[in-house]
Amino acid sequence: MSDSDKKGAKSLPAWALYVLSGVIGVVVGAGAMSLFPSGDSSFDDNTVVASFSGRKVKAGEAFAPIRTRIFDLEEELFRLKEQSINDFVEMQLVESEAKKQNLSREALLEKETGGEVADTTDKEIEDFLKSKNLSLNDPRIKKDDVKEYLKYRKRMDKRTAYVAKLREQSGVKMHISEPQSPKLTVKADGYPSWGNANAKVTIVEFSDFQCPFCSRAVPVLNEIKSTYGPDKVRIVFRDMPLPSHDRATPAALASHCANEQGKFWEYHDTLFGNQTKLGDEDLKTYAKTLGMDLAKFTECYTTKRHDGIVMNSKREAEALGIQATPSFIINGSLLQGAQPFERFKDKIDRALKGG
C-alpha cells in the first residue's frame, strides 16, 4: 500500500477500516485429516503424551475434547504465516518489475493502476451496505464516507488485480502445508436442508440467527447454491443458539415452525436480514408476510414444539467441540467462521473429485 493509500485509509471511518480488513486478502489451499498439522512428525493421534500407573495416554484420547480448538489455533497460525509469505512475495514481485522498467515501486503502481476510478453510484452504496447488514438509517454511517471508502476499494482492487497478474506470470507456489481438519461425523437427517439427499457433498452449518457473523454466510451459501446446484451440494442447517443472544433460541424455534409449512429457507433469509427485530410479534409478522398459516405457526411457536430438536442440535455441536458460529462441516471437514466463497469452493471441489 502506498503512502497516499495509507493516508486515505486513515481518513476512513472505523467501521470502513473494519470492513476493509475482511475484504482484502489472499487465501490459498484447504485440506482434511486428524488432530495435528500435516508434516508434523512429532505428533499424531498415537503419540504418547503422558503415563500413569503403567498406562500410556495417547494424544488422540487426551486432546479429543479440544480437537476443534486445536485445529482453530493451528489454522490461525497457518493463516498468519501464509499472509506473511504472500506479503513478502508480492513486495518482491513489484520491486522486481519496477527495477525492470527502471521505475520506483510507487511509480510502477501509479503507471499500471493509477488514474481515476469510476464514480460510486447510489445503488453500489446501497448494495454494499445491505451486504454488510448496514444502512444509511444508522446515524453513525455517512453517505460520503461510504462513497469514499468504495472509491478507495476500487483503487485497491486495481492494485490487487495487477499483483495477481504478476503472481500468475511468475508461477508463485506455496510450500507450506495447511493444517487438516479433524474428521467429524454429524447428523444431517431430520434437519432443514436444501439440495438432493444423495448429493456428493453435504455442508452442515451450525448457526445462530442473532449472530452478525452468521448473517454474512447467507450470500456465500446462496452463491454455493447457484454455482453447484442441488444435485452436487446439499446444505443442512443446524441450530447453535449462543447464550449471549437472548432471541437466538426463540428465532430457532420459529424457523422450525416455518419448516413445517415448507418455508424454512425464506424464513431463514428473513431472520438474518432483520437481526435486530426478533421479538415474538416480529417472528409472527414474518410468518404472515411469507404466506404461512398464522394460526398453525403461532400454535407451534407458543408451545415450543421444536425445543427438543434445537437443544439436541446445540448439545451435539458442543460435544463435537464446536465453539464458534457459524461453523461448517463439509463432508466431515471443519471450516469455521464467516469465510469467503473461495474457501468453500476449494473444499467442495476437492470433495467432488473424491479428495
In whole angstroms, what is the distance from residue 266 CA to residue 271 CA? 9
With 90 as the cut, is the pLDDT of residue 311 above it? yes
The pLDDT assigned to 355 comes to: 56
The pLDDT assigned to 350 comes to: 87
The pLDDT-based confidence of 239 (bands split at 50, 70, 90) is: very high
Stretch among 105-119, 125-139, 299-313 having the lowest mean pLDDT: 125-139
In whole angstroms, what is the distance from residue 351 CA to residue 340 CA? 18
Residues of the chain with CATH 3.40.30.10: 193-352
The pLDDT assigned to 314 comes to: 94
**Residue range 108-121: mean pLDDT, rounded:** 90
With 90 as the cut, is the pLDDT of residue 44 above it? no
Nine cell digits for residue 138: 444508522
The pLDDT assigned to 319 comes to: 86
The pLDDT assigned to 63 comes to: 86
- Looking at per-residue pLDDT, the higher value among 318 and 11 belongs to 318
Cut 0.95: pTM above it: no
With 70 as the cut, is the pLDDT of residue 8 above it? no
**Residue range 189-206: mean pLDDT, rounded:** 95
Helix axes 143-170, 122-131, angle to 10 degrees: 80
The pLDDT assigned to 324 comes to: 86
The pLDDT-based confidence of 326 (bands split at 50, 70, 90) is: very high
- Starting at the edge strand found earlier in the chain, the sheet holding 327-330 runs 193-194, 233-239, 201-207, 327-330, 333-336
The pLDDT assigned to 16 comes to: 47
What CATH number should be reported for the domain whose range is 193-352? 3.40.30.10
With 60 as the cut, is the pLDDT of residue 98 above it? yes
**Residue range 72-81: mean pLDDT, rounded:** 88
The pLDDT assigned to 130 comes to: 83
In whole angstroms, what is the distance from residue 288 CA to residue 295 CA? 10
With 50 as the cut, is the pLDDT of residue 352 above it? yes
Mean pLDDT of the chain: 86
In whole angstroms, what is the distance from residue 97 CA to residue 104 CA? 10
The DSSP 8-state label assigned to residue 126 in this structure reads: H
In whole angstroms, what is the distance from residue 262 CA to residue 257 CA? 9
Q: What percent of the chain has pLDDT over 90?
A: 65
- Looking at per-residue pLDDT, the higher value among 324 and 225 belongs to 225
In whole angstroms, what is the distance from residue 287 CA to residue 232 CA? 30
Q: Nearest 10 degrees: CA dihedral of 63, 67, 69, 72?
A: 130
The pLDDT assigned to 43 comes to: 54
In whole angstroms, what is the distance from residue 144 CA to residue 39 CA? 50
